[in-house]
Structure 1
Amino acid sequence: MSFDNAYEALTEDNDTRWAFGTGFADPLAGLDTTVPSGVDAAELARTCLWLGDDALIMSHRLQEWCAAAPELEDEVALANIGLDLLGQARLLLARAAKADPSLVPPVNQSDEDALAFFRDAADFHNVRLVELAGGDFAFSMARLLVFSTWRLALFQRLVDSPDQVLAAIASKGIKELTYHRDYAARWVVRLGDGTELSHERMQAGIDAVWPYVDELFDGDSVLRDEFDAVIAQVMTAGTLKQPPIHSVPTPGAHTEHLEPLLAEMQSVARAHPDATW
């Protein structure tokens, strides 16, 4: 399998697999994964690892809504959004491993499986927003809106990455993230501009996720301005108030929710480390 460029190799027309359980050992098979000249391999690996961890943990949180969403249509939608993110995670973790093989735990698994299932919480680099447990549907829609709006703006920049593999992943991810953002925005507006109770719960959801927003930007004012413009439109349409800036202390530290999440997510792989599926 060979293609002229990585984007072509990642299009659906070429039957590239995107999620676990496909029997496809290497998600980057057919791509030239050589780190381009002038690109810092370690920094590229870190970027892909962080983005992959964000997608992996957020995917797990979304899958928790299976059999619990308000309507059957939303069961399907949230499952598909979770699978989109799982596909992004698989590609990004595989790219991180190709760029810096020293990141991969020494287990008998594919690179992306090893990174997903055999690292401890301290070795994950995801933002804290995706770790948060519990909350009602309004909270989950608030989180998805914030996460997808931020990630979409970030991926729109990454299409210009000098690494053609990362650029291709971002190009395809933009289509998915646009849907994720729009799906969440419709629910935020629907609940915010609905009944008195739905408005109250939607505002509470926004208030709960807002302390974790600043960590997403790390001082990038341009990216933050793009994010704020989109969020302001949704807030206005939903008759909601954007909370004052209030960040959770100790940026970069994980919450108490990550270890239980990983214990659940990694349990089968760690119980049967030599298994294949």
Structure 2
Amino acid sequence: MEKAATGAILNPVEDRFVSDDALAPAFFEWLCRMGDSALVLGHRVSEWCGHAPALEEDIAMANTALDLIGHTQMWLGLAGEVEDKGRDADALAYLRDALQFRNLLLCELPNGDMGVTIMRQFLFDARHYALLMRLTGSVSPRVAEIAAKAVKEASYHLERSSDLVVRLGDGTDESQRRMQAALGQLWPYVDEMFVADAVDEAVAKAGIAPDPSDLKAEWEETVRSVLAEAMLDMPGPAGFAQTGGVIGRHTEHLGYILAEMQFLQRAYPGARW
């Protein structure tokens, strides 16, 4: 199958769900959740480009950001087809306001130090990989096709972030302190990854994606194993789960991300290289 250099599918396979009017609202929302989380986290990680503490990490993080933004193009491209209102991936990325974004709150949190950045990436990667593996068996051929491509990169992301958590957690007293502090800071945001609502229930019932709660046991097993090797204590249940990103209730941080990310398109509408 022919593919663009960016990873977008040029000759997509037939998929009856793309033109299913009854399912379209939920399917579109779910696809935006997939694409927006990848886009916002990709932008966050890209902020380290030229600023990481070591050249190897600088390059690796830039590549991770590019991978995630490549995933965004596929998910939001399909979302535009499902919506069928003439919006492509670029329009969905650059011409929506914060309240219309459906990313996980975890993805928009500030980078902090490298401990926060690496821990955030690991917590996201563990769930992202598990989800994409399930999606390769989706009854939606288009979703399965995107997942099959993205999961290869997600596998590397998880391997790399797991390794860094172990190296920093089981490193110096200072690196361990920072990693434990990062884990505690981010922990209230992880439950959002496993909370299902009507959108999730609709796509799960159709066989397109798993119920988010079905991923939690696998995620916990991965996280517990890596944290144990890293000599880090896994927190107990969060007293209050921070949720709302997937329905458009965001932290103040997303507005600043979009102001930077969308500036060129907003300043010069329709501009092309």
Q: TM-score w.r.t. structure 2 length?
A: 0.87
Equivalent residue for 1:24? none
Shift in Å, 1:32: 3.5
**Number of matched pairs:** 252
1:30 aligns with 2:11: yes
State the shift of 1:87 in Å.
Answer: 0.4
**Which runs of structure 2 are paired with 1:233-248 in the superposition (5 Å)?**
233-246=225-238, 247-248=240-241
- Residues 46-68 of structure 1 show CA distances to partners (whole Å, capped at 9, x for unaligned) of 22111000000000000011111
State the match for 2:267 in structure 1.
Answer: 271
1:35/1:41 contact within 8 Å kept? no
Cα distance, 1:163 vs structure 2: 1.6
Amino acid at match of 2:10: A
CA contact (8 A) 1:28 1:91 kept: yes
Q: After superposing the two structures, state which structure 1 stretch, 258-267 or 42-51, moved more.
A: 42-51
User: Following the alignment from structure 1 to structure 2, what is the Cα–Cα distance between the partners of residues 141 and 37?
Assistant: 36
Aligned match of 2:253 in 254, 257, 262?
257
| 1:35 positional shift | 3.2
**Change beyond 3 A, Cα 1:151–1:102:** same
Which residue of structure 2 lines up, in the alignment, with residue 70 of structure 1?
53
- Return structure 1 stretches of 4+ with deviation > 6 angstroms: none
Distance 1:86-1:33 versus aligned 2 partners, 3 A rule: farther
Moved more, 95-104 or 225-234: 95-104
Classify 1:249/1:151 alpha carbon distance in 2 versus 1 (closer, same or farther; 3 Å). closer
Q: Tell me if 1:90 matches 2:90.
A: no
Q: Alignment partner of 2:223: what SS?
A: helix
Structure 1 match to 2:131: 154
SS of equivalent to 1:102: coil
1:23 aligned residue: none
Letter in 2 for 1:76: I
Segments of structure 2 that go 5 or more residues without pairing to the other structure are: 197-211
1:133 Cα deviation after fit: 1.1
Task: Quote the offset at 1:69 in angstroms.
Answer: 1.2
CA distances 1:137-175 after superposition (whole Å, capped 9, x unpaired): 010000000111111111111112222111111011111
Contact 1:28/1:95, CA 8 A, preserved across alignment: no
SS of the residue corresponding to residue 262 of structure 2 reads helix
* One-letter code aligned to 1:17: A
| 1:180 alignment counterpart | 157
Quick check: 2:192–2:243 contact (8 Å CA) kept in 1?
A: no
Following superposition, the deviation at residue 45 of structure 1 comes to 1.9
Shift, 1:222, TM fit: 2.8
> Which residue, 190, 195, 204 being the options, matches 1:218?
195
The alignment partner of 1:125 has SS state of coil
RMSD: 1.8
Matched ranges for 1:36-185 at <5 A: 36=17, 40-102=23-85, 104=87, 111-185=88-162
Query: 2: distance between equivalents of 1:159 and 1:134?
Result: 30
Identity fraction in percent: 38
Shift of 1:249: 4.3
Q: Distance in 2 between matches of 1:239 and 1:74?
A: 22
For each residue in 1:200-251, what CA deviation from the matched residue of structure 2 results, as whole angstroms up to 9, or x when unmatched?
0011111111110000011544310000000011101000011122134453
Using the size of structure 1 for normalisation, the TM-score is 0.86
